[in-house]
């Protein structure tokens, strides 16, 4: 059962070939067996999940209509608010925080009759590229437990890869869905900014954050997008459907894009590891064999994406995290002398090193005398990057590049050098700055049998085309059918 896709499992549950209760029990049995080795979950909701599964089975048995994810066991990244369990953001400052409402995407999953298994680990407040910055636990890569799963949605990616759920939600501020998807050989989709509601997502970089799915297949990503997409009155940044209608992402998924034109950025791609670049070139050659035209692009401002991102994102993080003051909610230091100590010691004791680093960077760039020199200049670079993509999409349907310059690195390898860790996101960050959609799909393995991800980018709100282009590759390859070592060694 664990090798079924979410869509296949949903169809079998609706046909009463498998019960939702049976599917959930199977997942919990796998969690009991593998979770101690992987560490994907921060919290698990066995009692409520099994109750929901029974409810779905009862609806089906009585002939009632069920939702688009009827009975499918799924997971959510633990930076999305839920009225059940805690919402920790993998931080000691929120370790015991109980949210008073469900995030819109969580409510949409429940309304679609999904069975929420648990909440997954992440870099603290989604700040990181390896999930090593979690303040609560360690998550490893199912392909090699000595390596990182990527970040910040490493728990979600590892859970899907190890078959500890049938799909998961993550959030992507600078590559946090696509990079762990690439490292763990699953599909990860970062939607257009505004396509999916952020209401109930604990903010990191408000102009960059976007929620999206991590799944086994492209079809599953399309299925999840059908559930979570759309305007939300509770989120003013979500886009009205009269401006950008929500498609049925499954409807024409298997229809290839005709006269496909693919853009590549040679000078940028050249920075990838030789084996990664080899797999990307093989993928490009596959598309050429289908008749696609390859167009070389000049996108010079992408070279400045990391610098601009780490000014804008840290500035927004500094502002968003000011609310954790030891007074309103969350961790509070013991026996403070005065209010200054309440604030300073609570934050000092409960925030991790990377979160502190980004708060300090952001506060510095927003301070008097530096705002114009750094923050406003970064916003201008962001506009230039957005312009690079606009011009590129006048010539091509999509842009293809690596997800990451390397495959998953060893645990601890980059922790002493934050700059090297930041450079792991060199191919993903510009996508968030431009607000366009991107997807990572499995496209091969290196000599250490570690997964390589292919990143495909499309213009804003063209997720339907993006998914079709990704499906063209997936339907003719078997990379998504290879299972990680932890399963192969059963």
Q: At what angle do helices 218-228 and 104-111 cross, to 10 degrees?
A: 110
Residues 189-200: tens digit of each pLDDT? 999 999 999 999
Number of structural domains in the chain? 1
Of 120-129, 364-373, 388-397, the least confident? 364-373
Residue 117 maps to a domain:
yes
Identify the helix (H) or strand (E) that includes residue 283: helix 274-289
Residue 271 maps to a domain:
no
Residue 429 maps to a domain:
no
Residue 199 maps to a domain:
yes
Rounded CA-CA distance 124/353 in Å is 10
What DSSP string runs through 297-313? ---GGGGGHHHHHHHHH
Query: What average pLDDT score do residues 137-149 get?
Result: 97
Q: What is the DSSP letter of 147?
A: B
Residue 391 maps to a domain:
no
Tell me which of 19, 20, 91, 152 is the catalytic residue: 152
Rounded CA-CA distance 23/50 in Å is 10
Query: What average pLDDT score do residues 45-64 get?
Result: 98
The pLDDT score that the predictor gives to residue 249 is 98
Q: Are strands 293-296 and 211-215 parallel, antiparallel or unpaired?
A: unpaired
Residue 397 maps to a domain:
no
Query: What is the rounded end-to-end Cα distance, in angstroms, of the chain?
Result: 15
pLDDT band at 486 (very low <50, low <70, confident <90, very high): confident
Residue 274 maps to a domain:
no
Report the sign of the C-alpha dihedral through residues 241, 457, 211, 29, in that order: positive
Residue with tokens 């000014």: 311
Tell me which of 19, 52, 68, 77 is the catalytic residue: 77
Question: Around 295, how many Cα atoms within 13 Å sit in the side-chain half-sphere?
Answer: 18
Q: How many helices (H) and strands (E) would you count in the chain?
A: 17, 11
Residues 203-253: tens digit of each pLDDT? 999 999 999 999 999 999 999 999 999 999 999 999 999 999 999 999 999
Count the neighbouring beta carbons within 10 Å of the beta carbon of residue 266: 9
pLDDT band at 368 (very low <50, low <70, confident <90, very high): confident
Tell me which of 5, 19, 130, 176 is the catalytic residue: 176
Residue 145 maps to a domain:
yes
Domain of 178 in residue numbering reads as 6-258+437-488
Please answer whether residues 397 and 469 qualify as being in contact, where contact means their C-beta atoms are separated by less than 8 angstroms. Answer: yes
Tokens representing 220 are 């599953």
Q: What's this model's pTM, rounded to 2 decimal places?
A: 0.97
CATH of the domain at 217: 3.90.1300.10
The pLDDT score that the predictor gives to residue 1 is 85
Percentage above 70 pLDDT, the chain = 99
Is position 176 annotated as part of the catalytic site?
yes
Is position 152 annotated as part of the catalytic site?
yes
Q: Are strands 293-296 and 398-402 parallel, antiparallel or unpaired?
A: unpaired
Res 351 pLDDT > 60:
yes
Rounded CA-CA distance 100/254 in Å is 41
Q: Are strands 115-120 and 41-44 parallel, antiparallel or unpaired?
A: antiparallel
The pLDDT score that the predictor gives to residue 488 is 60
Report CA 13 to chain centroid distance, whole Å: 27
pLDDT band at 369 (very low <50, low <70, confident <90, very high): confident
Residues 280-294: tens digit of each pLDDT? 999 999 999 999 999
Query: What average pLDDT score do residues 323-332 get?
Result: 93
């Amino acid at each position: 059962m664990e090798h079924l896709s979410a869509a296949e499992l949903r169809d079998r549950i609706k046909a009463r070939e498998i019960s939702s209760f049976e599917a959930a029990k199977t997942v919990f049995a796998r969690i009991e067996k593998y979770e101690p080795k992987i560490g994907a979950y921060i919290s698990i909701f066995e009692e409520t999940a099994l109750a929901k599964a029974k409810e779905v089975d009862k609806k089906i048995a009585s002939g009632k209509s069920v939702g688009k994810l009827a009975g499918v066991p799924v997971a959510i990244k633990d930076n999305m608010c839920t009225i059940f369990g805690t919402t920790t953001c993998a931080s000691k400052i929120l370790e015991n925080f109980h949210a008073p409402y469900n995030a819109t995407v969580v409510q949409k999953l429940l309304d679609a009759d999904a069975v929420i298994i648990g909440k997954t680990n992440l870099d603290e407040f989604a700040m990181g590229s390896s999930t090593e910055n979690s303040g609560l636990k360690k998550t490893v890569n199912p392909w090699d437990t000595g390596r990182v799963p990527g970040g910040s949605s490493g728990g979600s990616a590892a859970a899907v890869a190890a078959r500890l759920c049938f799909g998961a939600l993550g959030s992507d501020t600078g590559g946090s869905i696509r990079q762990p998807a690439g490292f763990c050989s699953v599909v990860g989709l970062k939607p257009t900014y505004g396509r999916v509601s952020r209401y109930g997502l604990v903010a990191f970089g408000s102009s960059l954050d976007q929620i999206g799915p991590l799944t086994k297949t492209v079809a599953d990503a399309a299925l999840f997008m059908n559930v979570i997409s759309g305007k939300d009155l509770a989120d003013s940044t979500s886009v009205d459907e009269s401006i950008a209608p929500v498609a049925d992402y499954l409807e024409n998924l298997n229809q290839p894009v005709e006269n496909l034109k693919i853009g590549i950025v040679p000078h940028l791609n050249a920075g990838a590891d030789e084996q990664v670049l080899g797999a990307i070139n093989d993928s490009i050659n596959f598309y050429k064999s289908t008749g696609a035209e390859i167009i070389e692009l000049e996108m010079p401002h992408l070279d400045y994406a990391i610098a601009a991102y780490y000014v804008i994102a840290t500035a927004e993080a500094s502002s968003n995290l000011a609310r954790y003051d030891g007074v309103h909610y969350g961790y509070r230091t013991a026996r403070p002398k005065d209010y200054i100590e309440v604030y300073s010691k609570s934050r000092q004791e409960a925030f991790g090193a990377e979160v502190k680093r980004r708060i300090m960077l952001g506060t510095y760039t927003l301070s008097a005398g530096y705002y114009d020199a750094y923050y406003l200049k970064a916003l201008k670079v962001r506009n230039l990057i957005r312009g690079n993509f606009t011009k590129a999409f006048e010539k091509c349907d999509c842009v293809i590049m690596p997800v990451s310059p390397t495959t998953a690195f060893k645990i601890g390898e980059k922790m002493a050098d934050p700059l090297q860790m930041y450079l792991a996101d060199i191919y993903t960050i510009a996508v968030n700055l431009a607000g366009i959609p991107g997807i990572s799909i499995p496209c091969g393995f290196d000599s250490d049998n570690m997964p390589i991800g292919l990143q495909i980018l499309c213009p804003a709100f063209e997720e339907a085309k993006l998914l079709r282009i990704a499906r063209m590759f997936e339907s003719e390859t078997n990379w998504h059918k290879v299972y990680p070592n932890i399963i192969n060694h059963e």
